[in-house]
Structures are given as structure tokens and as C-alpha cells.
Amino acid sequence: MAHLICYDITKNPLRTRMGKKIIEFGLDRINKSVYLGTISKSSLTQLESWLSQEILTKGDPTDSCIIVRISAEQVQQMRILGLNELDLDELSGDKSTLIL
């Protein structure tokens, strides 16, 4: 299942760490503080725990992170305004790659 993760983090170092960690878990950055991709339930649990701990211990009281589960159909129906070269099949988990 695809998930959308976005955050509003005040401190640059924490924001950078969180972005790198989300990418390590296989999601793609689709906007400055917005990530999208498929992730297993167990990996999502690990990532969510890590993000929560980082915000609680190193974040400001106003910092937040939002995680939303979205269907492949919703990803395919995304409307992109402006310049953004997203591969919607890849982001939704519908793309199959054959390596020869």
C-alpha cells in the first residue's frame, strides 16, 4: 500500500535527518517535505516509531508529521501542477521492472 508522509519541522538538522530516513525506507520525495511510495506494514511501523521518537526528543512543540495511507488509484489520479517529473506507476507500486 502506498503512503504519503509529510512533515512540518522547525529545525533544519532534524528535518534533514527525517527526510533521509524516510528515503532510506524507500519512499520518494515528491515535494520539499512530502514523500510518497509503497512500504510494508512492518517497515512503516519501524519508520513511524523512529519519526515519533525524533520529534519527541529533538523537535519543537509545534513540529508534526502526518502519515496517510492512499490507494494506487489515488496516486494515479494525482494532479500535478507545475514542474514535477513523478513516475506515478512507481509511486503507486504498480510499476514492474524487468532486469536482464
**Tens digits of per-residue pLDDT, 2-54?**
999 999 999 999 999 999 999 999 999 999 999 999 999 999 999 999 999 99
With b meaning 16 or more CB within 10 Å and e meaning fewer, what string describes 39-50? beeeebeebeeb
Using one digit for the tens of pLDDT, what is the confidence trace for 47-93?
A: 999 999 999 999 999 999 999 999 988 988 888 888 767 666 666 66
Residue 99 has pLDDT above 60, yes or no: no
Entry pTM:
0.81
pLDDT of residue 81: 83
Closest CA to 75 of 61, 93, 59, 52: 93
Instruction: Set out the domains of the chain in order of their start, with CATH numbers.
Output: 2-92 (3.30.70.240)
For 79, the 3-state DSSP assignment is coil
**pLDDT the model gives residue 80:** 81
